[in-house]
Amino acid sequence: MGKLEVIAFDADDTLWVNEPIFIKTRERLESFISPYVDINKLEKKVYETEIKNLRLFGYGIKGFMLSMIESVIELTDGRITGNEIQQAIDLGKEMLEHPVELMPGIEQVLETLKDDYRIMMITKGDLFDQESKIARSGLAEHFEIIEIVSEKNEETYLKVLKRNKIDPSNFLMIGNSPKSDILPICKIGGRAIHIPFHTTWEHELISHHEKNGIEYEELPDVSLVPEFIKKLEQH
């Protein structure tokens, strides 16, 4: 590994809270479709529909909202009313305007690191929604580079690093998703730190088999990153 020069952060559930907003919305949706259908089927149905629609809608709240509406129409055999569909749409709009809740200590972490490293944000999802959250977070000034991508895989990361003239051996990625933030970086020769979040979307989870012997660091809290990197650089 080369000398560490660039540190990148995932955004959703790494810089700020995201997944609990989706969970709360599903719970609220259950309250008004319960007269029609077994609500225990809702979470599985919404997830299956989201995955089916990824190639059309991509990641993010808008795709979730459309998949949510499609799911309740199918689950209720079309019996759900127009007013109730409007309620589902309103839930999606509330998600898009939800206040951005920063992870504890993240501003101090970014402030500590930016004097010694180039700091990046690499986030995936709907461009408009991610730009809005970045602006509302107040964190943009901490980042030299911000990349919003439609997918996070080896090919995408290689393109991002090449575009920004970054050698993978000098690069570190920090995020909550092993599938999106960690394994692809390790596979292209970079380093990664996994910061688990207490709840993670099923699509971002990986099995032990998928790790395929790849080793990466894991810290319980993002506030521990600066001290860990300091020790890393001393070796």
Residue 19 DSSP class: H
Lookup: tokens for 101: 């809740």
Q: Distance (Å, rounded) from C-alpha 61 to C-alpha 21?
A: 10
Task: Single out the residue in 76, 96, 116 at which a domain terminates.
Answer: 96
Checking if the pLDDT of 78 tops 50, the result is: yes
In-domain check, residue 183: yes
In-domain check, residue 139: yes
- Looking at the structure, tell me whether residues 165 and 198 fall in a common domain: yes
- Looking at the structure, tell me whether residues 176 and 220 fall in a common domain: yes
pLDDT tier at 213 (50, 70, 90 boundaries)?
A: low
Instruction: Kindly report which listed range (63-77, 78-92, 169-183, 187-201) carries the lowest average pLDDT score.
Output: 187-201
Task: Single out the residue in 62, 96, 130 at which a domain terminates.
Answer: 96
Q: Residue written as tokens 């090449």?
A: 162
- Looking at the structure, tell me whether residues 54 and 169 fall in a common domain: no
pLDDT at position 181, please? 94
- Looking at the structure, tell me whether residues 212 and 225 fall in a common domain: yes
Checking if the pLDDT of 10 tops 70, the result is: yes
- Looking at the structure, tell me whether residues 116 and 216 fall in a common domain: yes
Q: How deeply is 89 buried, as exposed, middle or buried, from its count of CB atoms within 10 A (0-12, 13-18, 19+)?
A: middle
Task: Single out the residue in 63, 81, 96 at which a domain terminates.
Answer: 96
Q: Note the pTM of the prediction, 2 decimals.
A: 0.87
Interval 16-62: pLDDT, tens: 999 899 888 888 888 877 787 777 777 788 889 988 998 888 888 89
pLDDT tier at 202 (50, 70, 90 boundaries)?
A: low
In-domain check, residue 1: no
- Looking at the structure, tell me whether residues 106 and 218 fall in a common domain: yes
Q: Read off the pLDDT of each residue in 193-211 and give the average, rounded to a whole number.
A: 61
The contacts of residue 34 (CB under 8 Å, 6+ apart) are none
Q: Distance (Å, rounded) from C-alpha 135 to C-alpha 53?
A: 28
CATH of the domain at 192: 3.40.50.1000
- Looking at the structure, tell me whether residues 146 and 222 fall in a common domain: yes
Number of domains present in the structure of the chain: 2
pLDDT tier at 201 (50, 70, 90 boundaries)?
A: very low
Residue 100 DSSP class: P
Q: Distance (Å, rounded) from C-alpha 37 to C-alpha 138?
A: 42
Instruction: Kindly report which listed range (24-28, 76-80, 101-105, 205-209) carries the lowest average pLDDT score.
Output: 205-209
Which residue range(s) make up the domain with 137? 6-16+100-234
- Looking at the structure, tell me whether residues 91 and 106 fall in a common domain: no
In-domain check, residue 45: yes
Interval 95-111: pLDDT, tens: 999 999 999 999 999 99
